[in-house]
Amino acid sequence: MKTKMILSGAIALLGFASCANNSQTTQEMPAQEYPVMALSKQDANMQTVYPATIKGQEDIDIKPRIDGYIEAIYVDEGSIVKAGQVLFKINSPSSEQALTSAKASVNSEKAKVNTAEVNVERYRPLAEKGIVSEIQLRTYENAYETALASLQQAEATLKNAQATMSWTTVTSPIDGVVGSIPYRKGSLVNSNNTLTMIANTGNVYAYFSLNERKLMEFLEGVEGTTQSEKIKNMESVSLILADGSEYEEKGRIETITGTVDITTGSANFRAEFSNKSGKLRSGTSGKIIIPKTLCDVYVIPQKATFSQQDKVLVYKLEGDSVRQQIISVQSMPNGQEYAVMGGLSDGDKIVSDGVATLRNGMKISAKEDLRASN
């Protein structure tokens, strides 16, 4: 019995010693060190990106004005042409027949005029002498006037036929670049067919759109009371090409549609870019970059944040512990930082790295982050 009591006391003593050692170990474990940045407001250069369609300053569809067969093609796709340069020759038998008929009609009416004139000149002296009646003379004079009117009508028809024949030669209305040519020599065409398109790309237009909410936000951030004034005060915009490169020339927003499209709920913008090098082609696509300055915001690294249920959060330092804080942000152009729009205040400190290992209420040892917002 005495042996059992001694054994029990020894076990209890060992258990007490073990708990004491564990408690001592826990107290001696230092809090893990994390970089912390203090926040202060600053201006952030932002940009918004919108898909755009590029078109020439003038994109003209070339269509024949008469029916016929393509007799000759004088240009090739991609050719640079000048205004008035011949593009196509149309063979139009019906137009040729109309011209021949109009010429014959004019000759016939001229003969009638000559005959009527001779009758008037022959009967006028006789009427003056009383040999024939005035009524008979007046009849010949009326016939002469009718012949003149018929001649004028025939000459007008001839001019129309000549104008129609001139349409067999299709010329370029502007300086530009020839687009695709879907119809070849021998094709039957009419006014519904587009022979090609001439694009004047000395300057090009980039078309893009903003929805109603974005439009209001965009216009509110530009100085001016009217839309025209706001357009004049807008900053230059950049163009990103399909290969991801930035076009070397800056552009200007020239127009904003006065109404919002009911179907899409958006307003259309047009930005103009110089294209002296001819690098931009009509029909291509790109992206418009609109710069914007956000005043009095906090800029923090994205790795200082984490997401929960579509919300962006940070760990805010309170004493020697951290607390989760929901914030509203906008992505910076570099893709590595956020501009904080709400949820934090001047002087707040947040953990700037290693947030994946933190939990709400956890004690940490703060280390100053030299990349602090300033």
Residue 294, pLDDT score: 82
Residue 26, pLDDT score: 45
DSSP output for 227-294: HHHHHHHPPPBEEE-TTSPBPSS-BEEEEE-SS--TTT-EEEEEEEEE-TT----TT-EEEEEEEEEE
Domain span at residue 173?
A: 58-188
- Strand-pairing partners, residue 323, are 316
Mark whether 179 and 129 lie in a shared domain: yes
Q: Is residue 162 part of a domain?
A: yes
Rounded to an integer, what distance in angstroms lies between the CA atom of residue 111 and that of residue 76? 49
- Domain with residue 251: its CATH number is 2.40.30.170
Q: Is residue 23 part of a domain?
A: no
- Strand-pairing partners, residue 255, are 270
Per the structure block, which two tokens stand in for 363? 């004690």
Mark whether 103 and 218 lie in a shared domain: no
Mark whether 70 and 168 lie in a shared domain: yes
H or E stretch including 14?
helix 2-28
Domain boundary among 293, 312, 335: 293
Q: Are 371 and 352 in contact (CB under 8 A)?
A: yes
Residue 371, pLDDT score: 54
Mark whether 109 and 181 lie in a shared domain: yes
Rounded to an integer, what distance in angstroms lies between the CA atom of residue 345 and that of residue 301? 16
Mark whether 282 and 311 lie in a shared domain: no
Rounded to an integer, what distance in angstroms lies between the CA atom of residue 64 and that of residue 182? 13
User: Parallel, antiparallel, or unpaired: how do β-strands 42-62 and 349-351 relate?
Assistant: unpaired
Mark whether 240 and 148 lie in a shared domain: no
What is the C-alpha radius of gyration for the chain, rounded to an integer number of angstroms?
43
Q: Is residue 3 part of a domain?
A: no
Per the structure block, which two tokens stand in for 59? 């994109």
Domain boundary among 293, 323, 339: 293
Mark whether 317 and 255 lie in a shared domain: no
Mark whether 141 and 217 lie in a shared domain: no
Q: Is residue 180 part of a domain?
A: yes
Rounded to an integer, what distance in angstroms lies between the CA atom of residue 242 and that of residue 358? 42
Q: Is residue 12 part of a domain?
A: no
H or E stretch including 218?
helix 212-220
Q: What is the pLDDT of residues 184-197, one digit of tens each?
A: 999 999 999 999 99
Residue 77, pLDDT score: 93
**Ranges of the chain whose pLDDT falls below 70:** 1-29, 370-374
Measured between its terminal Cα atoms, the distance across the chain in Å is 76
Q: Is residue 101 part of a domain?
A: yes
Mark whether 238 and 339 lie in a shared domain: no
Mark whether 227 and 106 lie in a shared domain: no
Q: Is residue 26 part of a domain?
A: no
Q: Is the pTM of this model over 0.75?
A: no
Mark whether 335 and 241 lie in a shared domain: no
Domain boundary among 293, 310, 327: 293
Q: Is residue 355 part of a domain?
A: yes
Distances (CA, A) of 133 to 117, 126, 252: 18, 8, 83
- Non-local CB neighbours of 89 within 8 Å, separated by 6+ positions: 70, 71, 72, 73, 74, 168, 169, 170
Number of separate domains in the chain: 3
DSSP state of 372: -
- Domain with residue 361: its CATH number is 2.40.420.20
- Domain with residue 94: its CATH number is 1.10.287.470
Q: Are 296 and 374 in contact (CB under 8 A)?
A: no
Mark whether 103 and 113 lie in a shared domain: yes
Rounded to an integer, what distance in angstroms lies between the CA atom of residue 202 and that of residue 101? 45
Residue 67, pLDDT score: 93
